[in-house]
Amino acid sequence: MALRKLVAGNWKMNGTRAALPELPEIEAAALNAQGRLDVAICPPFTLMSEAAAAAPLLAIGAQDCHHLESGAYTGGVSAAMIADLRARYVIVGHSERRTYQGETDADVRAKAEAAQAAGLIAILCVGETEEQRDAGRADLVVAGQLAGSVPPSGKAANLVIAYEPVWAIGTGRTPSVADVAAIHELIRAKLIELLGPEGTGVRILYGGSVKPENAGELMAVPDVDGALVGGASLTAAQFVPIIQATAAL
């Protein structure tokens, strides 16, 4: 089943107000592709409100959320606070947070549940390291992360999965088309196992050195329902061609 594709940009810890002028051109490309795919930008928390003002018709997301709604958690940002900014998405379980902040599958599941309770769509990330892939464990690792991270409340309307092979993020390296197809097929099967028929409608994004040169090929792979784009989403010059290549499929 062909699903409506989603192209989401993760700005990570990049961007100041000087980056905001990039957004109107990205918004224009999103509007031109309207009806064929969805486009979102996930800037740092500091820019979310101003990004929404600079591009009011472009979907905005956050890069993380706390699993609780409120409380004495200095520096934390809850899903309810993100929703209050009229955001639509929040990324949870990115490999960088799993690695540097020590987030577990249980942590990621709690955050995804909090996002869904606040009316947000959780973009839940999974992916193996190079060591795990070389050891032939990529399938086991990804399936295990899904089993531990995907909330039972997951539905096509409130959950997106992003497969990001850790060794490909920001390195310029990408798996072969056959490897991407195999992992996405595995993810689809696991989602159906976990969520039943609802799993057929959950979008699965590919992330990891997506750029204009390879976007069309990657987005044409079966069960690749869009992209989670890192560095190439920081400028309209790089991100707009990815949107256009995806819309052309």
- Residue 46 phi/psi, 5-degree rounding, is -65, -20
- Residue 62 phi/psi, 5-degree rounding, is -105, 165
**Which of 159, 63, 144 has its CA nearest to residue 106?**
144
Q: Which two tokens stand for residue 84?
A: 């209050």
CA distance readout (Å), 21 to 41, 100, 218, 232? 13, 31, 28, 16
Instruction: Give the C-alpha separation, 52 to 118, whole Å.
Output: 18
Residue 174 contacts residue 208 (beta carbons within 8 Å): yes
Residue 33 contacts residue 249 (beta carbons within 8 Å): no
Instruction: Give the C-alpha separation, 13 to 31, whole Å.
Output: 26
Q: Which two tokens stand for residue 57?
A: 């018709």
Residues marked as catalytic: 94, 164
